[in-house]
Amino acid sequence: MVIVMGPEATRQDVESIVTVVQAAGVEAFVSRGVRRTIVGLVGDVTQLDAAGLRGMSGVRDVMRVSTPYKLVSRENHPQRSTVHVGGVPIGPETVTLIAGPCAVETPEQTLAAARMAQAAGATLLRGGAYKPRTSPYAFQGLGERGLRILAEVREETGLPVVTEVVDAHDVALVASYADMLQVGTRNAQNFGLLQAVGEAGKPVMLKRGMSATIEEWLMAAEYIAQRGNLDIVLCERGIRTFETATRNTLDVSAVPVAQRLSHLPVIVDPSHSGGRRDLVLPLTRAAVAVGADGVIIDVHPQPELALCDGPQALVDGDLDELATLMRDLPPLLGKSAATPLTV
């Protein structure tokens, strides 16, 4: 931590800082310049409150030097991690395709979508039984009935299931059906939910909040990790900007940045980023090329009848192209398509 004093700060102001800091067991190095004084802090600064220091007399700025997250940071864990979901790896060696319907509607629709996903090379099935919707009048998901459908389709296809949980008190129920729990963008700072999935004993996919900085996203992951669960996959899904031509702006740079700051795998959701079917394949290519460890994609057998986000779902005709890119692109990046572990 570095404390920058204002030009008006007195010698007394600086001494007060040093006293407070040393009381917390931290060393203070004072550099006096022509116009201002800088106090560099060295040691364990976690017990110091930056905001409190900033409020002290003569202080102009307090700059943090270390990262505020620990367990998910790559500083203490230089090797990138691989998370296994029902035997399927997500990590630095592979590009994992997760696909399925945005919302589970019927057993037939879910099975048909899962077959489409599999045909395109998917090794994990996505599907929502609990849907967080901006409008209380929109379809909110089938709930436990949807979870049962997902479990049946897993039985049928062998695909492990990724599904969203939206309330801390549904975590145990959802975890009893799912292979991986998804925390959505609207819950990226729902700390009770983050802690609950941290205790659920299942891998977690954590979507970035729609206006979360990369640091806030990693802090959210730290909430999960702090409860003992390090099987976390980060998912970039577009951020909110001034541009209205796309539903969100896919922040493709966030993938390598997050991979440098954290050891956790990072995947991309090209469907929700763009919000338009014609952008899904180009954005999937961009995601794989930038180094994402996987992608999660909406497919639907009849998107015009979809109860949720139909316009961004891939249809049958797109699957060949998706399969081709998932086959050809990863090897250029020293990765392979993910395949389940043979037991």
Q: Which of residues 296-325 bind a copy of itself (CB under 8 A)?
A: 303-311, 325
Alpha-carbon span 91 to 292, nearest angstrom: 9
Q: Which is nearer to a copy of itself, 88 or 171 (CB)?
A: 171
User: Which residues are CB-neighbours of 65 under 8 A, at least 6 positions away?
Assistant: 1, 2
Q: Which is nearer to a copy of itself, 79 or 342 (CB)?
A: 79
Minimum gap (Å) between residue 104 Cβ and a copy of itself:
17
The footprint of a copy of itself on residues 195-234 (CB under 8 A) is 210-211, 213-216, 219, 222-223, 226
Q: Which is nearer to a copy of itself, 84 or 133 (CB)?
A: 133
282 scored as a contact of a copy of itself (CB under 8 A): yes
Q: Which is nearer to a copy of itself, 179 or 231 (CB)?
A: 231
The footprint of a copy of itself on residues 232-271 (CB under 8 A) is 239-246, 249-257, 260
Taking CB under 8 A as the criterion, the residue among 97, 104, 120, 166 binding a copy of itself is: 166
The footprint of a copy of itself on residues 117-136 (CB under 8 A) is 132-136
Show the DSSP H helices in 34-105 as ranges: 50-54
Stretch that binds a copy of itself, among 108-116, 118-126, 156-164, 167-175 (CB under 8 A): 167-175
Minimum gap (Å) between residue 180 Cβ and a copy of itself:
21
Q: Which is nearer to a copy of itself, 193 or 233 (CB)?
A: 193
SS3 category, 156: helix
Q: Please check whether residue 88 is in contact with residue 341, taking contact to mean a CB–CB distance below 8 angstroms.
A: yes
Minimum gap (Å) between residue 288 Cβ and a copy of itself:
7
Minimum gap (Å) between residue 297 Cβ and a copy of itself:
15
Q: Which is nearer to a copy of itself, 10 or 152 (CB)?
A: 10
Stretch that binds a copy of itself, among 60-68, 86-94, 120-128, 147-155 (CB under 8 A): 60-68
| Other C-beta atoms lying within 10 Å of the C-beta of residue 317 | 7
The footprint of a copy of itself on residues 12-51 (CB under 8 A) is 27, 29, 31-36, 38, 40, 42-43, 46, 49, 51
Phi/psi region, residue 208 (left: phi>0; alpha: psi -120 to 50; beta: rest), is beta
SS3 category, 213: coil
Q: Which is nearer to a copy of itself, 13 or 93 (CB)?
A: 13
Distances (CA, A) of 264 to 78, 111, 260, 316: 10, 31, 10, 32
Alpha-carbon span 341 to 343, nearest angstrom: 6
Q: Which long-range contacts (C-beta less than 8 Å, at least 24 apart) are formed by 243-250?
A: 246/273, 246/274, 246/275, 246/276, 246/279, 247/272, 247/273, 247/274, 247/275, 247/276, 247/312, 248/210, 248/272, 248/273, 248/274, 248/275, 249/273, 250/274, 250/283, 250/286, 250/287
